[in-house]
Amino acid sequence: MGSLQLVKKRKRRRFIGKITSPLNKKLEQVKWGEFKLGDLFEKCAIGLKENFDKQRDISTQMDREFNLPLVNAKHGNNGVMYYGRENEWDSVSMSIDIVNDGAISTGDVYPQPQKTGVLYNAYLIKAKSCKVNNSKLLMFLSTAIGKAIKHLYGYEKKASWERVKNNSIFLPILTNGDIDFAFMENCVAELEAERVAELEAERVAELEAYLTASGFKDYELTPKEIESLRNISTLNFKEFNLERLFGKSTRGKRLKSSDRVQGNLPFVTAGEFNEGISDFIGNNVQIFSKNTTTIDMFGSAKYRNYSYGADDHIAVVHTENLEQNAAIFVTAAIHKSSHNGQFNYGRNFYAKDADALNIMLPFIDDKPDFDAMGTLISAVKKLVIKDVVEYANNKIEATKQVIANN
């Protein structure tokens, strides 16, 4: 194998790009040299398994049996769609995968530091220099190659090595013109550190947003909430009529799309997309209070924690005097009763149906136990926030583990 330092061209250029971080400032200051791919890399001479049985010899899932990644014309997932048995396929490690034939994947380039085999429509190349010995350098090099060749090839023009080896890439160089491997490795390391920092910042921002929206200082359960969760199976339920609890429901008024004036008021219509908000209007319409429940023409109930307008396919249940969490519980109870298939395009749900609707609620002394409902919803909210935080923590730890393993 030759040395990368001996095969460089003498053409140099400065990095041109948008300066948005300390790393980009370093990239702006570094000098770049142009290198022919055929001088830096060689195609791996590994055999392809012929006449394999797709049902028996490969798997879409990696496990202890199918433990070898196989590259092919795959766009995404690092170029891997299948896995084979390591003892049945030729493989190499510390290579770069180039897709030579695919509808959208032609010219895709992926780093493959682990042992990897080839299924079809792709090939592996290795650096001629022994200095390319870690995944960070592979990541940098594969990115540089992809940037150089992706736009040159497609389904009608395959990215064969005979063609690609004549293309050139730009790499950072030292003052003497040698390739700056240390810079490339440190560049990827800094990007990885920035990614971890971004994830940690996202975790903090998400937690603050959830706590703010929920009105909590933290997601620790109070003794009352813990007790509520423990006793959930012992709650006693009773049927209550919606009109007797909250008075007559109100039907919205029709407002054709062509008559709507753009504004800031959410306008609720029937449907699940975007919680039924079809527009934001500035028309003079009846404004319904926040902390109320809407039921659309199909019987789908939704809690609204904001003021809004509504069209004639919406019935508004006046839960505004309830504590917020209790109102959310009631909305869920309404939805369970109203949205079970009896309402559709042929049989719409209207305000009169809301007035006649009976729902099941926890009770005490023959009255709805709104306090118990509110406590239970508060506990559920905190559990959801805790799950989100734990998911974010796990994502950060997984990222750190991947970086450590590389």
Q: In this predicted model, what pLDDT tens digit does every residue of 293-307 receive, in sequence order?
A: 999 999 999 999 999
pLDDT tens profile 257-302 = 999 999 999 999 999 999 999 999 999 999 999 999 999 999 999 9
- pLDDT given for residue 256 in this prediction: 93
d(CA 153, CA 101): 9
Cβ atoms of 392 and 245 closer than 8 Å = no
Cβ atoms of 253 and 311 closer than 8 Å = yes
d(CA 353, CA 358): 10
Record the tokens describing residue 148, joined without a space.
């150089």
Domain residue spans of the chain: 4-179, 236-368
Residues of the chain short of pLDDT 50, as ranges, are: 1-20
β partners of residue 99: 122
Cα dist from 231 to 65, 227, 254, 324, 377, whole Å: 46, 6, 45, 21, 13
Cβ atoms of 220 and 385 closer than 8 Å = no
Task: Give the DSSP letter string of 338-385.
Answer: H-SSS-SSSS---HHHHHH-EEEEEEETTEE-HHHHHHHHHHHHHHHH
Sign of the CA dihedral with 52 first, then 55, 61, and 63 last = negative
**Phi, psi dihedrals of residue 164, rounded to the nearest 5°:** -65, -35
d(CA 293, CA 318): 7
Cβ atoms of 372 and 329 closer than 8 Å = no
CATH of domain 4-179: 3.90.220.20
Cβ atoms of 202 and 68 closer than 8 Å = no
The matching CATH number, chosen from 3.40.640.10, 3.40.50.150, 1.25.50.10, 3.90.220.20, for 236-368 is: 3.90.220.20
Domains 4-179 and 236-368 share a fold: yes
Starting at the earlier edge strand, list the strands of the sheet with 292-296. Answer: 250-251, 314-317, 292-296, 301-304
- pLDDT given for residue 216 in this prediction: 64
- pLDDT given for residue 49 in this prediction: 78
d(CA 240, CA 388): 35
- pLDDT given for residue 8 in this prediction: 37
Helix, strand, or coil here: 16?
A: coil
- pLDDT given for residue 13 in this prediction: 39
Starting at the earlier edge strand, list the strands of the sheet with 309-310. Answer: 277-281, 262-268, 309-310
- pLDDT given for residue 280 in this prediction: 97
Cβ atoms of 48 and 70 closer than 8 Å = no
d(CA 272, CA 105): 35
d(CA 312, CA 314): 5
262-268 vs 309-310, strand pairing mode: parallel
d(CA 127, CA 98): 13
d(CA 26, CA 172): 11
